Structure 1
Amino acid sequence: MTAPETDLIIAGGGLAGATLALALARTVPELRVTVVETFPLSPDALPEDYQPSYDARSTALSWGSRLIFEELGLWPALSEHATPIRHIHVSDRGHFGATRLHAEDHHQQALGYVADNRWMGLCLMRALLDTGVQWQAPAEVMDMTPTPDGVEVLIRKDGQEQRVSGQCLVVADGGRSGLREQLGFVTRTENYGQNALIANVSTSDSHQFTAYERFTGDGPMALLPHGSPRRPENQSALVWTLTDEALAEVLELSDEQKCRRLQERFGWRLGRFTRIGQCSHYPLKLTTVDEAVRPGVALVGNAAHALHPVAGQGFNLALRGLMTLVEQFRRAVDEGRSIGELSVLGEYQRRHRRDWQQTVQFSDSLIRIFGQSLLPVATARDAGLVGLDLVPGAKRWFARKAMGIGSRKPVVPSVSTTAGEDSRHDQ
């Protein structure tokens, strides 16, 4: 019997794949981990000083995600360029309904954070340099074959193909690579008939660390505080939901015209829109996989579920799933079992399923409720928003959803003791 060349192969070294690799290095150091990434990666390419770009794309991190990164010892670095969300304002354009959440009401420093994707990637790469995680990049996982001892993965690198054996393959390369379908996983996709336009914008008034979720007749619109983590500035990250027709029309406008159109849809809560940066867009779909595991293979992140960005839950859900998988790998190693056993991966799926079902239902219901323009429905939802402000229990439930707080126990308790040491980053 030939010994496997590695224990775990991670297909994809983006935010999900890199976080999983770091969590395993911290929590299950006995495992040999190999990450296969299509983009070139080199320690020499990591800049010593990070200079944020105006057009940098960002991710909303819940308070629960902060706690996870604290467990991994990564938060002190991440927090250097993570803008806190201290207030959330939810409103229904043209109607009276609105609700407001404040971090201080929940005795927290913030409800969440907004961090540039590139900065998060740099922090992960720097942390991984000090681990035993192996990288193959640029390279791509082409196929996988089950074996009696686990899996054999076909990797293409520098135009050459090689086969690497291991106990398990984790697919973490998103929902567009095709590897998921190539391996035979069946997805369910529901097209919302909408697109997300992403850009950074500047306004005449400061955001005051407030995130705005504005529901309009054309779809939801979110503005998240962006820029300095220490002082409120005038830059926000925009997620603008548009139909195909409206998107095509907006893309034809000049920047000044885009700002005026945005002003019409959002209003004046942040003063005048003075600048809009480079715009990118993608179609919005709800994609789920009923069975995200099989012997020797597990899907994580967007490869397992892709959500509407309305509530900013996508990466936070993925992060919780990654830590659930790490917990099962830790247990399997302690019990002397292969991490690729179906019982191990099946337990990960069972534990994570309830979380993703509730999160999908939460996000999807917001789209359906606020997508209705009928007067009785509009009146009922506005009454609901007002009710959130008036009923403490309901508001607390909504806040916990937004903050991503659950009952998951820390995976790395020895690292989590650093949490109190970095509170200065939120001041």
Structure 2
Amino acid sequence: MIKHDTDIIIAGGGLAGATLALALARTLPQLRVTVVETFPLSPEALPDSYQPSYDARSTALAWGSRLIFEELGLWQRLSEHATPIRHIHVSDRGHFGATRLDAADHQQEALGYVADNRWMGLCLMRELLQTSVVWEAPAEVTDMQPLPDGVRVTLGSKNGERELTGQCLVVADGGRSGLREKLGFRVDEQAYDQHALIANVSTSSSHNYTAYERFTDAGPMALLPHGSPRRAGNTAALVWTLDSGALDDLLSLSNEDRCQRLQQRFGWRLGRFTRIGECSHYPLTLKTVDESVRPGVVLVGNAAHTLHPVAGQGFNLALRGLMALVEQFRMATEQQQPLGSLQVLKAYQARHRQDWQQTVRFSDSLIRLFGTHLPVVTTARDAGLMGLDLLPGAKRWFARKAMGLGGRRADIRASGTAITEHNNHE
């Protein structure tokens, strides 16, 4: 076997890349892992304490993702600023259909959580700096050539270019992955012809740890509890779907007028909207890569799939995929197989495919179903929402989807051994 500079090269040190690096360090400490990240990183740059920002962007974590972070030894720290979702309310604006989920009905303390991205990143960095993971930052992978037993990548930085060899390159540089495009992976895109507006909002009534999924004739919106995990507050994380004209119109308004516009679309379940924070927005497109592996290369996270944010499935699906990849690497290591061999990476893809296909279909069909305004369809979906409250089996299935319990999840222990595997297919 060829002697490489490292074993696993991870292109991208965001949430997906950093989580994969930590999982590999916990599970397979004998492997050499190198993360290549465009932003500079040093222990001195990490703050000693974390002060939540009103305008911080956040991620919805399913209950199943909490279980993964527990196995990685990260949850105790992460939970310090993770707001629980104890109730979920799904409704169809202007129609009678609605359903409610309650964590207590499933003997859980929460259905999921909302955590600021910056806090999650800080927790991951603190843990990673205590491992043997090597960081190349600031730098980026600019090119890759396959080798008989691995890959050779070109790293670009302010000091020029140099080469690095490894058994496998993991592309984790996000939904706009330039490396994915350079390597020629085929991306299937379906535009939703809408934009997502992301902001934090203040309300006169407490969120009571309730997440609202509100489907309207202009597109879906979500309001997730945000803020203190110990006291139900008056701040929520908003994901608002708008067409380009409505988005431009909204961005031209004053904060007061934006609140009134949001009030008209969402209603009064959270009382009066009193403030909308800094807004960011981006066009909504379903992006998938059906063949996300090649000899020596695998795509993960948003580089492999980008979903509609309202369904809250994207990062949770990515996290389950990362754990499936770690489990496949563990098995290959035990069998002394090259980690970048097509046989190993194809086996990972097969392991993760059912979860990936089901989650993509669930997310996309949910958006398209509630985007249809034909009377026969609206009547059927409203009856379906009400039916969830009346049929325990259907409601349990929907709850398990929301909680991210399903797929194949490797049970990773901090001792470095993957012990069992759960087969909780939805």
- TM above 0.5, yes or no, is yes
**Amino acid paired to 2:181:** E
Alignment pair present for 1:108 and 2:96: no
Task: Please identify, of 366-375 and 228-237, the stretch whose mean Cα deviation from structure 2 is larger.
Answer: 366-375
CA distance in structure 2 between the partners assigned to 1:402 and 1:40 by the alignment: 36
CA distance in structure 1 between the partners assigned to 2:415 and 2:237 by the alignment: 31
Residue of structure 2 in register with 1:290 after alignment: 290
Alpha-carbon offset, residue 376 of structure 1: 1.4
Task: Please identify, of 37-46 and 14-23, the stretch whose mean Cα deviation from structure 2 is larger.
Answer: 37-46
CA distance in structure 2 between the partners assigned to 1:285 and 1:190 by the alignment: 6
Q: Deviations over 1:388-411 (max 9, x none)?
A: 011000000000000000263543
Percent of aligned positions with the same letter in both sequences? 74
CA distance in structure 2 between the partners assigned to 1:409 and 1:241 by the alignment: 31
Alignment pair present for 1:258 and 2:258: yes
Residue of structure 2 in register with 1:9 after alignment: 9
Alpha-carbon offset, residue 42 of structure 1: 1.1
CA distance in structure 1 between the partners assigned to 2:409 and 2:88 by the alignment: 27
Q: Deviations over 1:222-272 (max 9, x none)?
A: 000000001100000000000011111111111111000000000000000
Conserved in 2, the CA contact under 8 Å of 1:27 and 1:411? no
Conserved in 1, the CA contact under 8 Å of 2:327 and 2:410? no
Task: Please identify, of 399-408 and 190-199, the stretch whose mean Cα deviation from structure 2 is larger.
Answer: 399-408
Q: Is the alpha carbon distance of 1:409 and 1:360 closer, same or farther for their aligned partners in structure 2, counting shifts above 3 Å?
A: closer
Alignment pair present for 1:164 and 2:164: yes
**Amino acid paired to 1:223:** L
Residue of structure 1 in register with 2:216 after alignment: 216
CA distance in structure 1 between the partners assigned to 2:34 and 2:414 by the alignment: 25
TM-score (norm 2): 0.96
CA distance in structure 1 between the partners assigned to 2:90 and 2:411 by the alignment: 33
Alpha-carbon offset, residue 40 of structure 1: 1.0
Q: Deviations over 1:282-316 (max 9, x none)?
A: 11000001100011000000000100112100000
Correspondence list, 1:20-35, <5 A? 20-35=20-35
CA distance in structure 1 between the partners assigned to 2:373 and 2:273 by the alignment: 27
Q: Is the alpha carbon distance of 1:74 and 1:415 closer, same or farther for their aligned partners in structure 2, counting shifts above 3 Å?
A: farther
Alignment pair present for 1:94 and 2:84: no
CA distance in structure 1 between the partners assigned to 2:65 and 2:149 by the alignment: 34
Q: Deviations over 1:169-193 (max 9, x none)?
A: 0000012131101101001000000
Residue of structure 2 in register with 1:360 after alignment: 360
Conserved in 1, the CA contact under 8 Å of 2:288 and 2:304? yes
Task: Please identify, of 346-355 and 109-118, the stretch whose mean Cα deviation from structure 2 is larger.
Answer: 346-355
CA distance in structure 2 between the partners assigned to 1:393 and 1:267 by the alignment: 30
Correspondence list, 1:371-410, <5 A? 371-406=371-406, 408-410=408-410
Q: Deviations over 1:333-367 (max 9, x none)?
A: 11111110111110111111111110011011111
Residue of structure 2 in register with 1:412 after alignment: 412
Residue of structure 1 in register with 2:328 after alignment: 328
Conserved in 2, the CA contact under 8 Å of 1:295 and 1:340? yes
Number of equivalenced pairs: 416
Q: Deviations over 1:125-181 (max 9, x none)?
A: 000011000000110100100011210000001140000001000000012131101
Q: Is the alpha carbon distance of 1:378 and 1:415 closer, same or farther for their aligned partners in structure 2, counting shifts above 3 Å?
A: farther
> Is the partner of 1:411 in helix, strand or coil?
strand
CA distance in structure 2 between the partners assigned to 1:177 and 1:190 by the alignment: 17
CA distance in structure 1 between the partners assigned to 2:251 and 2:347 by the alignment: 46
**Amino acid paired to 2:411:** V
> Is the partner of 2:120 in helix, strand or coil?
helix
Instruction: Note the residue ranges of structure 2 that are not aligned, 5 or more in a row.
Output: 417-426
**Amino acid paired to 1:94:** G
CA distance in structure 1 between the partners assigned to 2:73 and 2:93 by the alignment: 41
Correspondence list, 1:167-182, <5 A? 167-182=167-182
Residue of structure 2 in register with 1:419 after alignment: none
CA distance in structure 2 between the partners assigned to 1:205 and 1:180 by the alignment: 45
Alpha-carbon offset, residue 96 of structure 1: 0.3
Conserved in 2, the CA contact under 8 Å of 1:40 and 1:137? yes
Alignment pair present for 1:40 and 2:40: yes
CA distance in structure 2 between the partners assigned to 1:350 and 1:286 by the alignment: 21
Conserved in 1, the CA contact under 8 Å of 2:323 and 2:409? no
Conserved in 2, the CA contact under 8 Å of 1:71 and 1:410? no
> Is the partner of 1:96 in helix, strand or coil?
coil
CA distance in structure 2 between the partners assigned to 1:177 and 1:185 by the alignment: 10
CA distance in structure 1 between the partners assigned to 2:409 and 2:253 by the alignment: 49
Structure 1 runs (4+) greater than 6 angstroms displaced: none
Q: Is the alpha carbon distance of 1:194 and 1:415 closer, same or farther for their aligned partners in structure 2, counting shifts above 3 Å?
A: farther
Task: Please identify, of 75-84 and 348-357, the stretch whose mean Cα deviation from structure 2 is larger.
Answer: 348-357
TM-score (norm 1): 0.96
Residue of structure 1 in register with 2:18 after alignment: 18
CA distance in structure 2 between the partners assigned to 1:131 and 1:221 by the alignment: 40
Residue of structure 1 in register with 2:419 after alignment: none
Conserved in 2, the CA contact under 8 Å of 1:71 and 1:415? no
Conserved in 1, the CA contact under 8 Å of 2:214 and 2:221? yes
Correspondence list, 1:134-149, <5 A? 134-149=134-149
Residue of structure 1 in register with 2:130 after alignment: 130
Alignment pair present for 1:57 and 2:57: yes
CA distance in structure 1 between the partners assigned to 2:291 and 2:218 by the alignment: 34
